[in-house]
Structure 1
Amino acid sequence: MNRRTRLALVLALGGLLCGCGSAPDPHSSSAGEKPFWRAEFDGAADTRPSARSWNTETGNRDAEGWGNNELQYYTDDAANSALDGAGHLLISARPAPAGSELPCHTTEFCTWTSARLTTEGKVALTRGRVEVRAKMPTGTGLLPAIWMLGDNGVEWPGQGEIDICEVVGGEPRTVYGTAHGPTYFNENGIGGSVTLPADASQAFHTYAVDKQPHRITWSVDGRPYFTLTPSKLPAPRDWVFEQDMHLLLNVAVGGDWPGPPGTSTPSPATMTVDHVRFYGEGHA
């Protein structure tokens, strides 16, 4: 998600979902379809995800706290993003090492490190479905996210943003899905939410978006909970999603939304990604 001040969201009501354990997700409507791109994260423990598909963004101060006054410094260290040797990608936020002096936007030095991975310039979806099966970290001051940005070369928010899944701070069972565009961004983002039966960190769930012409539908474990069309925007002409969009995965800490971490914030706070799959049309 583009890290701007977001203290509220324009939300549709969500429903209660059935849980999903570590077995293959039986609810996916893409079962039997062949993805045009997939990341399964097979490889030795402590190796980095493939540079053929993934970029690792770094820093904090030069990115102005990632637009949200965040406290993490994104690194390309294996301590923050690496395979676990069991078919998963781990994206971990953890306190910065003593004496690291990583320059921060809101404080002199960042107190946390984390990772932000993107497929920009390498893999993108034009139309179709994105599925990410993951366990999301929960806890005070954490903001893990699975999201997309447009490849149209326009400055945000005209670039277009689709937040596939956000789990904010002290709301460990709530999944937010939101769209941002030229006249609906920050606290005016348009989306919905859904409630899980247990904390998002307790089980794998399949977080997905189906991006079709003039229609975007969010779902968890194959169950849709919000659909956006141009008629729901402040002005239908502000629909910016008929374009290629790339994927981002990150775990943010602190900032305006969700607020500061505390003594109860887990360390490391890890997003465990089982797989990523793109169905439909795009490029890889």
Structure 2
Amino acid sequence: MQNMPQLGLGTFRLKGEAVIESVSTGLELGYRHIDTAQIYGNEADIGQALAATRVARDDLFVTTKIWLANLDRATLRSSLEASLGALQVDHVDLTLIHWPAKDDGVPLRESMEALAEAQSAGLTRQIGVSNFTIGHLKQAIDVVGAKAIATNQIEVHPFLQNRKVTDFMAGHGIAVTGYMPLAYGKVLEDPVLQQIATAHGVSPAQVALAWQLQLGHTVIPSSTRRENLASNLAARDLKLTDAEMAAIAALDRGERLVSPDFAPQWD
């Protein structure tokens, strides 16, 4: 079974030819971890790219996420089966609950049990969660156990480091997947990241990615440009000093960029 590659390719907001080309180019460059979600509306497009690639299915790690409308027991499995059809695969490697149900309208126990049943049926190799608070993580752990939760995918970048949640996860052996790792490009303008980048002859984006990788997080940046896709992938080779890691840690200002009206009460 393929372990989750630490640097993946995000596909949020990419559709049609843009996402087909991004995934196809990414696979050509060496990406093996593709992250999508039902609500992105691009699973069928990604399925086209996966069907056309010469990369063996066993060498790929494909993640999707169950949307809010599909969290009840009756709908979750059928929605995942529809995702598999769109992606043109017989299983995904990881399925996440995308968000906790708004106002806990669907009991979390029901969703986690249904997700575990989908795993037992072979529809997904691993299961996990996304945008979960500590309280939601505790509930999920009560249902399936911490070992069954492969990751909690949350917003993490130098300006929102989410330490309360990541510390809790570390204590329970749950991996962090950081989305929005480049903070919508804001990392490019930060003088501290620019200074570190100059010292290494790299870009501020590479510094922001390397910082998370060095913390042990998985990151899933997205791009439609070949040069940026290659540059992001090269962040795996950048090693930051302890002083540089500390300087980036000091940039945390609690700047959350993703908080829709159905979001939970954040920690």
Per the normalisation by structure 1, the TM-score is 0.26
Q: Which has the higher helix share?
A: 2
Larger relative contact order (C-alpha < 8 A, sep ≥ 6)?
Answer: 1
Q: Which has the higher strand share?
A: 1
